[in-house]
Amino acid sequence: MAAQAAAGDENKITGTPILGERYHTVIVGAGPAGLSAAGRAADYDREAGVDSPGYLLLEGFSTFAKTIQKYQKGKHVMDEPGFLQLRSPVPFVAGKREEILGGWQDSIAAGLNIRYDSEVVAINGSQGDFRLTLSGGDEIEAEYVVLSIGTQGNPRTLGVAGDAESDFVRYTLDDPEDFKQETVVVVGAGDAAIENAIALSDYNTVFIINRRNEFSRAKDGNLNAVLAAINDKSRPFHCRYEASVAGLELPAAAGEMGAIVLNTPAGEERLPCHRIIARLGTVPPRSFVESCGIEIKSASADAVPDVDRHYQSNVPGLYIIGALGGYPLIKQAMNQGYDVIEFINGKDTKPADYPLLQEQFSGLPYVMDAEDVLNLYQQRIPMFRRMNPLAFRELIIESRILVSLPPDEYARSESRGERSTVFIPAGEPVYRHGEFSTTFYTLVEGEVRLQLEQDGPWHSLKPGQFFGEMSLISGRPRQGDAIASEDCILIETPRRIMVKLMNSNEEVRQGIDRIFIVRALQAAFRPELPLAELAAIADRVESCRFNAGQALFSEGEEGDCLHLIRSGTVVLSRGSQNMVVAQHHSGDLVGQMALMGSPLRRDTARAAVRTETLKVQRAEFLALVNSQPDHVAVLQGRLSTLLQQTNAMASQPEAARSIGFLMDQGLGEATNALVIDESLCVGCDNCERACAETHGGLSRLNREAGPSFANLHVPISCRHCELPHCMKDCPPDAIRRSADGEVFITDSCIGCGNCETNCPYDAIKLSYAAPKKPGLWSWMLFGSGTGPGQPETFQPAPADKERGKKAVKCDACMGQAGGPACVRACPTGAAMRLSPEQFVALVEAR
C-alpha cells in the first residue's frame, strides 16, 4: 500500500505500474458489480481512516462499465428484479443509459481507486498471496481477488456459412439511428436483441427471430415492450417464433439486399433484408478463468463457475460476482459487489433476498437458517446440483414450498403470507387424473405415490425425484394421480420458470427429458425392467420433431419402428385422396403395426400441428414388451380396436373427409371446440345472444364466421388448446387454465393484445367493457338499452375508455350450471362442444 501511495494520483489516470504494489483486495472489472464492490471497499477505508487505499479496481478497457457504454443511445436500463432492494454506495435506479453512467462517473470522481487499460492476463497464488499479472507484464499482489469481468468474450455467431462480422452481419449495435429505411433482421430473444429490435423499428422494418415459442429470458419490462411492438399494427415490427437460421444469402454488392433463410414450423422461409443484427450472447472467457485454477464442471459453452453462497470459487480467497457467476442483472450484480466486500471483511451479511427465503421456509418442520435449507435442498436433489447456486436461489424464490400435514393438523393450519410455506392435506392428490395443470414438482422429503396413467400401477417416488414433467412438456391433462404421504416437502415450480430453466441449462433439460422418456415408456408398455435397463433403452430412443403437414411415415413403405407421441396430434390417412382414418394425441402409439404384424405401412401418418414423438426401433420394442408378456395382450387388443376403427373410417369416405376437414382447421390441438351441424342450424343466433347475456353483454362467439364442410361448421370461438398459444408471453400472467381445462382471462389483463396476436384462430379480441344492462322493467316501460337476447351495441363510457380495452375470449362458461350457454341455448341441438376424441363418433353418426 505504501508503494501505491507514493505513486500519487497520476498513476490512477495513466495506469503507469509500480512494481511491488500490494493490496488487501483487488477487484478485476469495472462493470456494475466491480464498481459496487469498489464503492463498499472505499467505505471501509474511510471508516478506518487509512492514508492510502487498501483496494484497487482494475479495468482492462479505457473506461468503466464498457458493456453499458456500448448500449444504444438513449436506451432505458431497467432495475429488475423489482422485489430486491439495492444495497450499494454506487447509485442505480431505472433510467436512460446516459443518466446511469453519469451517476457512476460521479461516484468514481468522488474517490474510487480505479486504474484503466490494465488488463489482467493471469492470476496465480492463493488466499493472502495472490499475484495478478497485467498485459504489460507488471504484477500486483493481493490478499483477496474479486473477479467481476462479466462474460464479454467473443460474440456467439449464427453458425452458418457467411456469418463473419461484416456490414451485412453485425453482432453489436451502437446507434440505431445509423440505419434508416431498411429491412433489418434481429436474431435473438434476450434483452439486448429486444432492445435493438425496438429501437431499430423507429426507422426501419424489423423482424425479430426467436427460436423458442416465447420470450422466456426477457426481463418483464422488455417482455412488455416487445409484445406491445408485435401487436402495434402501426409499427413495422414482426416476430418469427420457433424459427432458426438455416442459411444466409450475402448481398451481391454493397448497398444491395441479401437474405436470411429460416427453418420455421411451416417450413423454410426466406426473408430479404439489408442487414442482420445477431444478439446471441457471448462466449465466456473460459480459458482465462480455468487458468486461474477455477473449476467449471460442465463442458457446455454457457457454463459458469460454481461458487458458494458467499460467491467464493473453489480457489479460497478468489470470488466471482456478476454475469460470470451466472447473474447478469445489474441490481443483482451490484448487490453481490456490496456483499462480497462484507464477507471479505468478516461480516456474515445476509443477501438482499434472504427475507423472501425465510418466509418461504417458515413452515418447515425444523429450525434451520434459510441459507442452510437452501444448501441442503440443492445437495439433496440431483437435478438441482447441476445448477449454479445463484440460479437455484432464483428458482426457489419463484416457486412454492408445500408441506403435507395429517388431515387433523391440516384442518387446524392457518393461512399464511403470500410467499409463506403452503400446507396441503396428506393422502389427498397433489393433482388428479384429467386435471389441466402444468406445474413441476420436486420431492425433497417424504414419499409420493404416482400413477402414469388412469388406473395404472403405482410408482413410489423418493426424495430427490421429480414429477409433473409429462403435462409440462405435452400440455395434455394429468395422467393418473399423485398422492403425497404425511410430512412430505415439495417444491412446486411454475411452468414459466421451468421453461426458462430448461432453455438456459442444457443439463437440466436433458435430465428432465430423460425421465420423461422413461416414464412415457413405462406408461405405454409397462415394462418389468430394472430402472438401469429401462434408462439404457430410453437413451437409445430417438426424439423427433415434425412440422405441421410433415410425414412421420408413408403408406406402402416398410416400417421398422413405431412413434410414441410426446406432444401434438398425428392423423392417419389412406389412399390417393388422403382420406383421414384416425387421429392420435399425446401418449398414443402410431405405426406399431409394423412391429406387431405386417411391416408394410397401411397408412400415411402426418403431423396435424407441430408434433414431437419418441421413435422406438424394433430391438427396443422387443426388449420392452418381452419383459412384460401379460401386457402384450393389452397392446394387441388396442391395435385390433384401432384397425377396426381405421377400416370402418376408410369405408366411409365422407366421414373420413370430414375428419380431415376438422384437422385442417387446427382442431387436432383443441380440447373443447365448438362445432355446429348446419343441417340442424336455423340461424337464430341464440348461441351468440346467450354468450353475450352470460358475459356482461360481450359475445365471445362469431357463429357466421369460420369454414364449413359437409354441413359441419367451425365458428370463431376458443378451442382451449392443449398448449394454448394465447398463454405464451402474457406479461401479467393474466391468462390461466382451470383444473377442468377452461382457458380464461383474469382481471389482471393489461390489454397488451399479445394473446390476440398469438391466437391463430382469431378467437380473442380486445374490447371496452360493456355498460351494465338496464333492468327488465326499465327496458319494457322506458325503452332503456337493449333487452334480453337483443344484440349489444354501445359506446364505451369515459371511465371505460380511460381504463382501456381488455382481452375477451370464450371461457366455456366455466362454473356455469349446465355448461356452455351457447350449447344450452341452441333450440335444435346444432351446437356442440367436443374434444378431438369425439370427432370420429360425430362424423360416423352423421
Statement: residue 538 has pLDDT above 90: yes
- What CATH number belongs to 536-651? 2.60.120.10
Angstrom distance (rounded) from CA 718 to CA 756: 11
Statement: residue 789 has pLDDT above 60: no
> What pLDDT, on the 0 to 100 scale, is given for residue 75?
67
> What pLDDT, on the 0 to 100 scale, is given for residue 16?
43
Nearest to 843 by CA among 153, 832, 307: 832
Structure confidence at residue 275 as a pLDDT band (50, 70, 90): very high
> What pLDDT, on the 0 to 100 scale, is given for residue 496?
79
Say which residue, 216 or 31, is predicted with more confidence. 31
101: left (phi over 0), alpha (psi -120 to 50) or beta: alpha
Structure confidence at residue 377 as a pLDDT band (50, 70, 90): very high
C-alpha cell at 123: 492470476
> Is the overall model pTM greater than 0.85, yes or no?
no
Backbone angles phi, psi at 236, to 5 degrees: -80, 70
> What pLDDT, on the 0 to 100 scale, is given for residue 18?
45
Fold of 2-153+284-352: FAD/NAD(P)-binding domain (3.50.50)
C-alpha cell at 6: 507514493
Q: How many CB atoms lie within 10 A of CB 422?
A: 16
C-alpha cell at 830: 346444432
Statement: residue 206 has pLDDT above 50: yes
How far the first Cα of the chain sits from its last, in Å, is 92
Asked if residue 56 lies in contact with residue 30, where contact means CB atoms within 8 angstroms, the answer is no
Q: Are strands 183-187 and 205-209 parallel, antiparallel or unpaired?
A: parallel
State the residue for C-alpha cell 403437414.
Answer: 549
Statement: residue 107 has pLDDT above 90: yes
Say which residue, 365 or 791, is predicted with more confidence. 365
Q: How many CB atoms lie within 10 A of CB 109?
A: 8
Statement: residue 586 has pLDDT above 60: yes
> What pLDDT, on the 0 to 100 scale, is given for residue 124?
95
> What pLDDT, on the 0 to 100 scale, is given for residue 465?
94
Rounding to the nearest 10 degrees, give the CA dihedral for residues 648, 652, 658, 661.
80
- What CATH number belongs to 169-278? 3.50.50.60
Report H helices in 745-805. 754-758, 776-782, 798-803
Question: Does the fold of domain 536-651 match that of domain 355-513?
Answer: yes
Asked if residue 693 lies in contact with residue 790, where contact means CB atoms within 8 angstroms, the answer is no
Beta-ladder partners of 77: 95
- Ranked by mean pLDDT, the top range of 73-87, 120-134, 807-821 is 120-134
Asked if residue 29 lies in contact with residue 149, where contact means CB atoms within 8 angstroms, the answer is yes
Structure confidence at residue 560 as a pLDDT band (50, 70, 90): very high
Structure confidence at residue 72 as a pLDDT band (50, 70, 90): low
> What pLDDT, on the 0 to 100 scale, is given for residue 302?
65
Angstrom distance (rounded) from CA 794 to CA 775: 16
**Which of 131-135, 148-152, 380-384, 710-714 shows the lowest per-residue confidence on average (mean pLDDT)?**
148-152
Angstrom distance (rounded) from CA 290 to CA 283: 14
How wide is the angle at C-alpha 41 spanned by C-alphas 36 and 46, nearest 5°?
Answer: 125
> What pLDDT, on the 0 to 100 scale, is given for residue 12?
40
As a whole number of Å, the CA-based R_g of the chain is 31
Angstrom distance (rounded) from CA 461 to CA 705: 50
- What CATH number belongs to 355-513? 2.60.120.10
> What pLDDT, on the 0 to 100 scale, is given for residue 794?
59
Burial of 746 (0-12, 13-18, 19+ CB in 10 A): exposed
Mean pLDDT computed over every residue of the chain: 85
Burial of 411 (0-12, 13-18, 19+ CB in 10 A): exposed
Angstrom distance (rounded) from CA 769 to CA 750: 13
Tens digits of residue pLDDT in 746-787: 887 877 777 887 888 888 888 887 766 654 444 444 444 444
Structure confidence at residue 54 as a pLDDT band (50, 70, 90): very high
Say which residue, 289 or 76, is predicted with more confidence. 289
Nearest to 488 by CA among 446, 522, 519, 520: 446
Nearest to 583 by CA among 779, 792, 838, 391: 838
C-alpha cell at 809: 375470449
Q: How many CB atoms lie within 10 A of CB 525?
A: 25
Instruction: State the average pLDDT over residues 503-516.
Output: 86
Rounding to the nearest 10 degrees, give the CA dihedral for residues 183, 189, 190, 192.
0
> What pLDDT, on the 0 to 100 scale, is given for residue 373?
93
Instruction: State the average pLDDT over residues 160-183.
Output: 88
State the residue for C-alpha cell 401418418.
Answer: 605
Angstrom distance (rounded) from CA 487 to CA 353: 27
What does the domain layout of the chain look like in residue ranges?
Answer: 2-153+284-352, 169-278, 355-513, 536-651, 664-845
Say which residue, 616 or 667, is predicted with more confidence. 616
Report H helices in 320-416. 330-344, 354-360, 370-380, 382-385, 389-398, 407-412
SS3 labels along 302-336: CCCCCCCCCCECCCCCEEECHHHHCCCCHHHHHHH
Statement: residue 5 has pLDDT above 60: no
Structure confidence at residue 509 as a pLDDT band (50, 70, 90): confident
> What pLDDT, on the 0 to 100 scale, is given for residue 7?
38
Backbone angles phi, psi at 281, to 5 degrees: 85, -175
Angstrom distance (rounded) from CA 731 to CA 749: 9
Contacts of 415 (CB under 8 A, 6+ apart): none
Structure confidence at residue 508 as a pLDDT band (50, 70, 90): confident
> What pLDDT, on the 0 to 100 scale, is given for residue 262?
94
Angstrom distance (rounded) from CA 649 to CA 652: 5
Structure confidence at residue 349 as a pLDDT band (50, 70, 90): confident
The alpha carbon of 649 is separated from its chain's Cα centroid by a whole number of angstroms, namely: 40
Q: Are strands 114-115 and 55-58 parallel, antiparallel or unpaired?
A: parallel
